């Protein structure tokens, strides 16, 4: 069906498509205000609320664009916040405590709480290591054991060693990690956790695969 000519389209990030897509402006409301200071000085502000619907997946988001006469430019916020990452599909197929922690990490990522996300990711790796190779002491020994058991490649091990130190710096030295670093850390952590899901998939596949004829 052709779109009516009056329909307004804007290109913004879609949380489901995970990229910028065309969105239909469903509704828009403006709230303005001003205040007088003395005889000849006035400050004013304007909030524009725009409800936007993705033309591809129909996900709906609300944007608030705020303008204040004493500040240059606009402040833009989205509800729910814009996300660049989605929870893996296998998140419910891993042990319950790991799955619950992963969900909390995503809640932190989606509210831009990078430090909380890194602390959570560090705990998640520790949880996995303790279950797979036992509590052998420090992270370095446990990672070495994971490498030997084939859960990690050498590159992943090196990266995790540095990333876990980032987690330590966040917890104990107030370090604020960059979003890219946290994303990379999540890639490796999820790669590790996927072993749980793959284990189940291997067993299922074995059950349904007909045996070879002798």
- Sequence-ordered strand ranges (E) for 38-88: 41-54, 60-68, 74-79
Q: In 3D, which of 51, 52, 50, 59 has the Cα closest to residue 18?
A: 59
> Minimum distance from CB of 26 to Zn ion (Å)?
14
In this complex, which beta carbon is closest to Zn ion, that of residue 32 or of residue 58? 58
Minimum CB distance to Zn ion, residue 22 (Å): 9
Smallest distance, Å, CB 55 to Zn ion? 8
CB nearer to Zn ion: give 20 or 69: 20
Shortest reach from residue 11's CB to Zn ion, in Å? 11
Which residue has 């303790």 as its token pair?
Answer: 130
> Does residue 146 contact residue 129 with C-beta atoms inside 8 Å?
yes
Instruction: Report whether the peptide linkage leading into residue 80 is cis, meaning its omega lies within 30 degrees of zero.
Output: yes
Instruction: Please check whether residue 83 is in contact with residue 109, taking contact to mean a CB–CB distance below 8 angstroms.
Output: yes
Ramachandran angles phi, psi of 43, nearest 5° = -110, 150
- Whole-number Å distance between alpha carbons of 112 and 106: 10
> CB of 8: closest distance to Zn ion in angstroms?
17
Give me the least distance between CB of 23 and Zn ion, in Å please: 8
First to last CA, the chain: 59
- Which of 13, 195 has the CB closer to Zn ion? 13
| 19 versus 96: smaller Cβ distance to Zn ion | 19
56 or 134: CB nearest Zn ion: 56
Query: In the complex with Zn ion, which residue's Cβ is closer, 43 or 57?
Result: 57
Binding site for Zn ion (CB under 5 A): 14, 16-17, 21, 54, 56-57, 59
Q: How far is the C-alpha of 55 from the C-alpha of 51, rounded, in Å?
A: 13
Tell which residue, 49, 43, 47, 50, has the closest CA to residue 31: 47
């Amino acid at each position: 069906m052709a779109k009516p000519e009056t329909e307004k389209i804007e290109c913004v990030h879609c949380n489901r498509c995970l990229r910028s897509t065309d969105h239909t402006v469903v509704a828009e409301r403006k709230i303005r205000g001003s205040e007088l200071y003395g005889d000849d000085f006035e400050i004013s502000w304007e909030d524009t609320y725009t409800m936007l619907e993705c033309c591809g997946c129909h996900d709906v988001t609300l944007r608030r664009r705020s303008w204040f006469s004493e500040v240059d430019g606009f402040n833009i916020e989205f509800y729910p916040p814009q996300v660049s990452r989605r929870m893996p599909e296998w998140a419910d197929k891993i042990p319950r405590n790991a799955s619950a922690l992963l969900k909390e990490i995503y809640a932190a990522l989606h509210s831009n709480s990078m430090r909380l996300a890194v602390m959570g990711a560090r705990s998640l790796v520790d949880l996995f290591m303790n279950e797979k190779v036992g509590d052998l002491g420090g992270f370095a020994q446990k990672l070495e054991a994971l490498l030997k058991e084939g859960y990690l490649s050498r590159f992943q091990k090196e990266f995790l060693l540095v990333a876990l130190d980032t987690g330590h710096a966040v917890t104990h030295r107030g370090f604020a990690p960059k979003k890219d670093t946290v994303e990379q850390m999540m890639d490796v952590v999820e790669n590790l956790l996927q072993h749980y899901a793959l284990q189940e998939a291997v067993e299922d596949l074995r059950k349904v695969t007909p045996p070879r004829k002798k």
